[in-house]
Amino acid sequence: MRVATWNLLHGIPLLDPLRVPELAQVATSISADLIGLQEVDRQQARSNYEHQTKTVADALGLPFWIFAPAVVGTPGETWEGATDTQVHSHEHPETESDQPHYGIGLASRYPLNNVKIMRFDAAPFSLPLLVPSEPRPRMMKVSDEPRVAIIADVETPLGTVTVANAHLSFVPGYNVKQIRKLTKHLSDRPNPVIVLGDFNLPGRLANLVSRWDSLATLPTYPTFKPRIQFDHIITKGFSEETITRARNSAEVLPLAISDHCALVVEITK
């Protein structure tokens, strides 16, 4: 089972800003059976009103998908926290609302069952961040947003696996609390668990604070010269042999879209 996580930066090309590739075309380079997506747009003017979770799912031939907005509106402009009523999926691909949404997605070749959405409050202050912009990135103060995780039981060839996709806060300390809350919630599952996403936790900090096994320790950011790992795939409940094989298969894909590379591993029995 090929598992991937990708922060797609709502489709912004950074390696070649003068060329705007199609998201679907770029996504086919990943070739995954299960993929977690972060910084995903739906019905946003800045991304041509594309439903980006569905676009990636269709491009990869993944029939099962869920989009969970973190906010209604546009980050950096006007927005409010989203609710679970605005979550939609392959079963309900459209909602009555034509408002812009921004959040995360999960797409799978295998059925997604017992879906749960976990939400985290935004940190109550802003921090200076290096923000992608033209002609070059710039430093600016950025307010945190509400964060969200999608949790689902996936019926895979390896058996039932619980999968969670999350995009956590960039505020130090808040992201640690969030990953601990998420992994604690999942710790009692009887089946193996995979948590993937952009945790905004550098290097080995993700598995150190969670005490879970990391399937990849590779730099994923930025795409043009990866130096830091913000994107992670951590697990609980798999055998040592499965973990070792997954680590040996791990690869980083610098793509024509986003400032994050996609991170991919192969999980086998």
pLDDT digits (tens, 9 = 90+) for 162-193: 999 999 999 999 999 999 999 999 999 999 99
CB atoms closer than 10 angstroms to residue 140? 12
- The tokens for 26 are 């770029």
CB-based contact 13:264 (threshold 8 Å)? no
Domain ranges of the chain: 2-266
User: How many separate helices (H) and strands (E) can be counted in the chain?
Assistant: 5, 16
**2-266: CATH topology:** Deoxyribonuclease I; Chain A (3.60.10)
Q: CA dist 70 to 86, 225, 260, Å?
A: 9, 29, 19
pLDDT of residue 224: 86
Sign of CA dihedral 132, 224, 147, 206: negative
Q: Are strands 2-7 and 262-266 parallel, antiparallel or unpaired?
A: antiparallel
pLDDT of residue 14: 74
**What percent of the residues of the chain are helix, what percent strand, and what percent coil, each to the nearest 5?**
20, 40, 45
CB-based contact 145:133 (threshold 8 Å)? no
Rounded Cα gap, residues 216 and 250, in angstroms: 6
pLDDT tens for each residue of 99-121: 999 999 999 999 999 999 999 99
Q: Are strands 159-167 and 147-156 parallel, antiparallel or unpaired?
A: antiparallel
Rounded Cα gap, residues 147 and 216, in angstroms: 23
Rounded Cα gap, residues 179 and 186, in angstroms: 11
- Low-confidence stretches of the chain (pLDDT < 70) are 15-18, 93-97, 130-138
Rounded Cα gap, residues 146 and 69, in angstroms: 10
Amino acid, res. 269: K
Task: Give kind and range of the element (H or E) at residue 147.
Answer: strand 147-156
Residue holding tokens 């802003």?
126
CB-based contact 68:148 (threshold 8 Å)? yes
pLDDT of residue 131: 62
